[in-house]
Chains A and B, each alone.
Chain A
Amino acid sequence: MSGVLSNRWLLALAVLAVLLVAQVLLPPYHHTNFARIMVLASFAIGYNIAFGYTGLLSLGHAMFFAAGIYAAGLGAQELGLSMPAALAFGALGGLVLALAVGLIALRTSGVAFLIVTLMFAQAVFLTTLYFNEVTKGDEGFVIAEALRRIEIGGAELKLSDPTVRYNVALALFALCYLASIALLHSPVGRVLVAVRENEQRTRMLGYNTFGYKLLAMVISGTISGLAGAAYALLFAYVGSTFASTQYSIYALLWVLLGGLGTTLGPLIGTGLMSYLVDFASDVTSSYLIVVGVVLVVLVLAFPKGVVGTAIERWGRLRS
């Protein structure tokens, strides 16, 4: 476990290397799919920090993702922010909203916390509909092609270019993934897990558990916001769907399927679910039924998810 390149970092680097190489092997359709999965998995990583690490069962994380989407989308479109600035603005949107919601919602816990976060997310969703003159509501808007470019030392990168898009998504995912591993194994991360396992005991040991939970919410919201911003800029679309309860449920589903509280879980869960939904939507227009079935099966048979079950079977894969 000691040393710079312990198992956990080796596994992480291997995963990232596979994703890096995959882009030359994947046919175009899956290429785009993978880019999308990596961005959504970053959102799931954000959610995992709240629910998986700290035990805060939120059903409102779509609001942080949407905060990032709207902050970046409107920032680029209305304020003329450059792409990196729009990304940062999106992360800031998630941070500020998570701080505000956390300060209020964390006065409650358990089921009440879940409902309060659901309510706040619903308020955010309705707000995006209410101000439809700016947000274009349900219909949403497309971010202009001309805005979606990054200039690096004279060279210009277009985000609409598949290769650029894939690698920006990979960079974002790598950042969130490595940060989540570092967080989990840092002293702060240990306290977050302690809060999840037994909050009262942690408080008795002298830790300010409210402060730690708020910190977890803020980190979680910031990562979710950053992922939302990247989603808006890479896929050029901003709409209120992303603020709906369904996206909060998706985050929960991806993390549960992958393995609650594991660092690799969010990617596995997002990837599997994405392909499962893809496959089901070819068969039936009621493809969301697989979401329901997977949730029920997970609860009844595999509460630890894919990675969690693997760790149980084959020992310490979690790194």
Chain B
Amino acid sequence: MSFGAYFFLAVLEGTVSAFVLALTALGLSLVFGVMRVVNVAHGELFMLGAVIAWWVSQMAGDPLSGFLLALVVGPLLVGGIAIAADWAILKRVDYNPEATIVATIGLLYIIQQSVLILYGPDARAVEAPFYFRVQFPWFGYSGYKLIVAALSAGLLLATWYLLKKTRLGLYMRATQYDQETAQAFGVPVRRVYAAVFALGGGLAALAGVLVVPIQQAHYLMGHDPLLLSFIVVIIGGLGSLRGTLIAAFVIGISDGVISVFFSPTLAKILATLLVALVLVVRPGGLFGAKPA
């Protein structure tokens, strides 16, 4: 293959992972933006989505119905777990930023190790619901990956619609803008918090469901999505939907290109250092950014 073909493949791979990353990071970004807390267990919710997809696929008859079922069951179950965590932990520390971080680190281990107990240490594959190849002049490409990108795009649009056009979205934006005033105007802030935490977890779980036919489900798979989401959220700016998307594409595609031409490790080193650079140029970092 020529350089051009390699480059095209790298960009294609990067784009697919960028869409999944955007979905995961958007969940983190919403929680960040509206609740002003960091959910360190976010990557584990992604992992739970993938593991639930495997579990559902074992019970469903064929890959397609398993996939469709997982797209519903995954985010619902994970959203439920998120609401339970919000009620049992976050609410009780009054959403104190530092206490929440420590508590969600604890949650990370509890979820991860519970999955290890119940699901085991093996990586398990889930059959893709669709099998077809898209033939480019230079190589054939997995059709399922393109469908992942398309579905992610659809889910991102749906989230955008939810935020901008529905009452719940209005509540969320009002809470993000000024929590006290929102409360004074009758926005049920606590319930909005629970909803946002569930929505954030649900988005991560959806990303996990989508990715599992490409990546296999494993109890430690939440680590990388968490770090990449942090990077995206910082570079994209606090709670900004547009910023998160743009950053996800910059990081996702450059990650893909550098991974193909150099090494995945180098790509990640550069991404983490880019975050530092962003913060040097803009010392306020993510909290200096205006919510869009």
Majority secondary structure, B binding face:
helix
| A126 B268 Cβ-Cβ under 8 A | yes
- In the docked arrangement, what's the CA distance between A123 and B277, Å? 13
| A110 interface contact, C-beta 8 A | yes
Q: Which of A39-90 contact B (CB under 8 A)?
A: 57, 59
Binds B, one of A26-34, A155-163, A214-222, A296-304: A296-304
A12 located at the interface, meaning its Cβ lies under 8 Å from any Cβ of chain B in the complex? no
Verify B97–A110 contact, CB threshold 8 A: yes
Residues of A within 8 A of B98 (CB): 57, 110-111
Q: Can you name the residue of chain B whose Cβ is closest to the Cβ of A249?
A: B105
Given contacts A112-B286, A116-B276, A286-B113, A122 and B106 within 8 Å (CB-CB): no
If the complex has contacts A112-B279, A122-B227, A252-B105, are A300 and B269 also in contact, measured as CB distance less than 8 A?
Answer: no
A292-B108 in contact given A111-B38, A286-B116 (Cβ < 8 Å): yes
User: Which residues of chain A in 229-254 are interfacial with respect to chain B, using CB atoms and an 8 Å cutoff?
Assistant: 245, 249, 252
Contact B266 A286 (CB under 8 A): no
What is the CB-to-nearest-CB distance from B111 to chain A, in angstroms, rounded to a whole number? 8
What does the 1/0 interface line of B89-121 toward A look like (CB < 8 Å)?
100110001110111011111111110110001
Say whether, besides A130-B266, A292-B106, A299-B89, A285 and B116 are in contact (CB < 8 Å).
Answer: yes
* Contact partners of A300 in chain B: CB under 8 A: 89, 92-93, 103
Q: Are B106 and A295 in contact (CB under 8 A)?
A: yes
Inside 8 A of A256's CB, which chain B residues have their CB?
102
**Cβ–Cβ < 8 Å partners of B68 in chain A:** none
Is B58 interfacial (CB-CB < 8 Å)? Answer: no
| Given A112-B285, A114-B38, A300-B89, A122 contacting B102 (CB threshold 8 A) | no
Contact B110 A296 (CB under 8 A): yes
The answer to whether B279 touches A252 (Cβ under 8 A) is no
Tell me, yes or no, whether A294 is within 8 Å of chain B by CB.
Answer: yes
- Please report the total number of A residues contacting B with Cβ < 8 Å: 41
Partner of B287, one of A112, A120, A126, A288: A112
CA–CA, A299 to B96, complex, Å? Answer: 10
- Interchain CB contact under 8 A, A119 and B287: no
Chain A positions 244-278 with a Cβ under 8 Å from a chain B Cβ: 245, 249, 252, 256
A107, B116: Cβ atoms closer than 8 Å: no
A116 and B109 form a contact (CB under 8 A):
no
Say yes or no: is A293 at the interface (Cβ < 8 Å to chain B).
Answer: yes
Interface: B18 (CB within 8 A): no
Question: Given A115-B234, A129-B265: A298 and B102 within 8 A (CB)?
Answer: yes
Known: A104-B280, A112-B279, A116-B276. 20 other contacts (CB 8 A): A115-B275, A115-B286, A119-B275, A123-B269, A126-B272, A130-B265, A245-B223, A249-B105, A252-B102, A284-B117, A286-B113, A292-B106, A293-B106, A295-B103, A296-B89, A298-B102, A299-B93, A299-B103, A300-B89, A303-B99
27 A-B pairs (CB sep. < 8 Å): A104-B276, A104-B280, A105-B276, A108-B283, A111-B97, A111-B287, A112-B286, A115-B234, A115-B286, A116-B285, A119-B227, A122-B227, A122-B272, A123-B272, A126-B272, A245-B223, A249-B105, A286-B114, A288-B109, A289-B110, A289-B117, A292-B107, A292-B110, A292-B111, A296-B110, A298-B102, A299-B102
Q: Name A residues whose Cβ lies closer than 8 Å to a Cβ of B.
A: 57, 59, 104-105, 107-108, 110-112, 114-116, 118-120, 122-123, 126-127, 129-130, 245, 249, 252, 256, 284-289, 291-296, 298-300, 303
